[in-house]
């Protein structure tokens, strides 16, 4: 059964692939699973029909027959469990790859989001200039630790996995920021992820929505 995911009808990122449907598209492309996309506006996301799929009125969602999922991490874990290609067969390697999925979403992404939210929503606050360096220091610490662990390896734990897929999408949110550029190995790691054919297909598909060149139904 072809799954259907939801994505922004008009992503505020201008087609840079920073919204979280990108990681789901990439996962589906990695495993060779075709998918449909239902585009939703900001107001549609808050309506009861969408809230039945996503309690917080957000994207992405994932529908496959009777199954409806929200949370990009859970969706990718589901895809990775059902298809070969995103998690190793060996039980210990699989557990480590899952740990990297959680690390990307629970340890590395939160300080990055905090900084984004501050830059977007708190600029006019009297304490903004004082808070920003604190938030950036938190990111610096995490990137330093991640960079040390990655070293000169291609991927976080031997072969490419859903852990790398999530980590690359999380780090991409810092693209162009000095914070990431200070770590050449992380910059190359992100570029390595972006060079994967499945990533390119996913990126082009979400960009086509923005440029209005997506096929009908997407
Ligand atoms: N934890 C959830 C998950 O991982 O699925 C978070 C989902 C989420 O934050 N969805 C966002 C959303 O629906 C889109 S991805 N927001 C609308 C709302 O909450 O009303 C976050 C996002 C949005 C925009 C950009 N951008 O423009 O660069 C990047 C990322």
pLDDT at 215 over 80: no
Once rounded to an integer, what is the mean pLDDT over residues 104-123? 97
Tens of pLDDT, residues 31-42: 999 999 999 999
Say if ligand 1 is within 6 A of residue 122 CB.
no
Say if ligand 1 is within 6 A of residue 72 CB.
yes
* CA-nearest residue, atom 19 of ligand 1: 58
Tens of pLDDT, residues 10-20: 999 999 999 99
pLDDT at 183 over 80: yes
Query: Where residue 175 falls among pLDDT bands split at 50, 70, 90?
Result: confident
Q: Which domains are seen in the chain, by residue range?
A: 4-85+198-210 (3.40.30.10), 91-196 (1.20.1050.10)
pLDDT at 216 over 70: no
Higher-confidence position of 218 and 52? 52
Atom of ligand 1 nearest to the CA of 71: 5
Say if ligand 1 is within 6 A of residue 86 CB.
no
List CB contacts of 25: < 8 A, sequence separation 6 or more: 5, 7, 35, 37, 202, 205, 206
Q: Please give, one letter per residue, the 3-state secondary structure of 103-166.
A: HHHHHHHHHHHHHHHHHHHCCCCCCHHHHHHHHHHHHHHHHHHHHHHHCCCCCCCCCCCHHHHH
Q: Choose one of 19, 55, 113 to mutate for the ligand 1 pocket test, by most ligand atoms within 8 angstroms of C-beta.
A: 19
Q: Residue 39 Cα, ligand 1 centroid: separation in angstroms?
A: 14
Say if ligand 1 is within 6 A of residue 20 CB.
yes
125: exposed, middle or buried (C-beta count within 10 Å: 0-12, 13-18, 19+)? exposed
Say if ligand 1 is within 6 A of residue 22 CB.
no
Q: d(Cα 85, Cα 17) in Å, to the nearest integer?
A: 22
pTM of the model: 0.96
Say if ligand 1 is within 6 A of residue 206 CB.
no
CB 160 within 8 A of CB 196: yes
Q: Which residue has the tokens 């469990």?
A: 81
194: exposed, middle or buried (C-beta count within 10 Å: 0-12, 13-18, 19+)? middle
Once rounded to an integer, what is the mean pLDDT over residues 87-102? 98
Say if ligand 1 is within 6 A of residue 71 CB.
yes
């Amino acid at each position: 059964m072809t799954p259907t995911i939801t994505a922004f009808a008009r992503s505020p990122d201008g087609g840079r692939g920073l919204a979280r449907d990108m990681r789901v598209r990439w996962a589906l492309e990695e495993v060779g699973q075709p998918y449909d996309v239902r585009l939703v506006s900001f107001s549609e996301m808050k309506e009861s029909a969408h809230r039945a799929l996503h309690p917080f009125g957000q994207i992405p969602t994932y529908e496959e027959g009777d199954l409806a999922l929200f949370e990009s991490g859970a969706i990718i874990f589901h895809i990775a469990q059902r298809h070969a290609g995103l998690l190793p067969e060996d039980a210990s390697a699989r557990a480590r790859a899952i740990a990297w999925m959680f690390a990307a979403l629970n340890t590395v992404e939160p300080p990055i989001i905090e900084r984004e939210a501050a830059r977007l929503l708190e600029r006019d606050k009297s304490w903004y200039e004082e808070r920003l360096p604190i938030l950036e220091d938190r990111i610096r610490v995490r990137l330093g630790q991640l960079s040390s662990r990655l070293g000169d390896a291609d991927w976080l734990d031997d072969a490419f996995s859903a852990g790398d897929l999530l980590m690359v999408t999380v780090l991409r949110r810092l693209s162009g920021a000095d914070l990431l550029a200070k770590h050449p190995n992380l910059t190359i790691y992100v570029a390595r992820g972006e060079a994967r054919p499945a990533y390119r297909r996913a990126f082009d598909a979400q960009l086509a929505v923005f440029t209005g060149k997506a096929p009908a139904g997407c």
